[in-house]
Amino acid sequence: MKKLDIDQTFGNQQVDSQEREKRIRSVFNKVASRYDLMNDAMSFGVHRWWKYKFAKLAKPQAGQIIVDLAGGTGDVAIKMDTADNTVLIIDPSLAMMQAGKKRHNIECLAMKGEQLALADNSVDTLTIAFGIRNVTQMNKALEEIFRVLKPNGRMLCLEFSKPQWWLKPFYDLYSFYVIPRLGAWIARQPEAYTYLIESIRRFPDQEEMKAKMEAIGFTEVSYQNQSFGIACIHIGTKK
């Protein structure tokens, strides 16, 4: 597996961003060992189907350089990794990446989405599953993703979104009352999963996310709802 061009120079973050970042890192460090188990419990295993479709839409090909940003334990990267391409997991949480190392040998690098130490125009495909809502500055992260993609490179983002109106009341009840209790029972971290639910609520809906990607410069931006809008796959191309 060939190495990417890594530049280890990083800038400074604002204090408020640092405080939010510290909270997010703490959440994922606490839940890393049981993160995949909690995903199975929270979604009744449906997240695996979402990620299977997501990886398939990425269309990994021979010779490509593929970055799975916020790749965590590598459950998406594994689906794209073949003998004739280069897949790299990037995540700011060492604990999450270490938890996944039991299942794969994919190269992992600790970086923040807002400061990707990768060369301009160096990546064919960049995927990010359930991670874009946890960056401290979404526009900055989108700009970085756009920068590192090659011309005609694609970004694919799988994220929670706005469910259809008839499902939303039931989904809200489940999210606010059941998921934190699952977090307490399985992951032993109810506070962490309360934060994760809050971050889902703050995330832009389907059309808002599409507009954000277009404002950065992505073209051919589209999205595909999953499970009636509970999750959504956003796709954009850098021309």
5 found inside a domain = no
158 found inside a domain = yes
171 found inside a domain = no
For 47-68, the pLDDT digits (tens) are 999 999 999 999 999 999 999 9
Predicted TM-score of the model (pTM): 0.89
Residue 16 is predicted with a pLDDT of: 62
Work out how many domains the chain is built from and give that number: 1
198 found inside a domain = no
Q: Which of 73, 63, 1 is nearest to 33 (CA)?
A: 73
119 found inside a domain = yes
180 found inside a domain = no
pLDDT exceeds cutoff 80 at 6: no
- DSSP output for 177-229: IIHHHHIIIIIS-HHHHHHHHHHHHHS--HHHHHHHHHHHT-EEEEEEEETTT
Angle at 80 between CA 64 and CA 21, to 5 degrees: 95
- CB-CB contact of 30 with 206 (8 Å): no
d(CA 111, CA 90): 6
65 found inside a domain = yes
Residue 9 is predicted with a pLDDT of: 29
Q: Look up the CATH number of the domain holding residue 214.
A: 3.40.50.150
Question: Domain limits at 80?
Answer: 15-163+203-237
4 found inside a domain = no
